[in-house]
Amino acid sequence: MVANDFHHYDNSRDNRFGSDVPDLNSLIVLLLALIILLVLTNKLPLLLSGIVGGASLQGGVGLGRV
């Protein structure tokens, strides 16, 4: 009985996902998300290095003047 239920679940899963083709809207959304992630991952190291480098230099200069 358990094996029969599992087989039925397998068939319903194949019918639900196997015959469907993604529509154009979902592919466009996926492409836009991919482009945004690509841009962010390319700019993130520069942004973080600017924050870290700038904060340490300004902190040292500010403490030296006081």
- Condensed to tens digits (0 to 9), the pLDDT of residues 5-62 reads 555 555 555 555 566 788 999 999 999 999 999 988 888 888 778 777 665 555 455 5
Q: Name the residue among 54, 40, 11 with its Cα closest to residue 3.
A: 11
In this predicted structure, what is the pLDDT of residue 21?
A: 83
Query: Measured between alpha carbons, how far is residue 9 from residues 16, 41, 64, 65 in Å?
Result: 11, 40, 71, 72
In this predicted structure, what is the pLDDT of residue 15?
A: 55
In this predicted structure, what is the pLDDT of residue 1?
A: 53
- Stated pTM of the model: 0.43
The residue that leads in pLDDT, 22 or 63, is 22
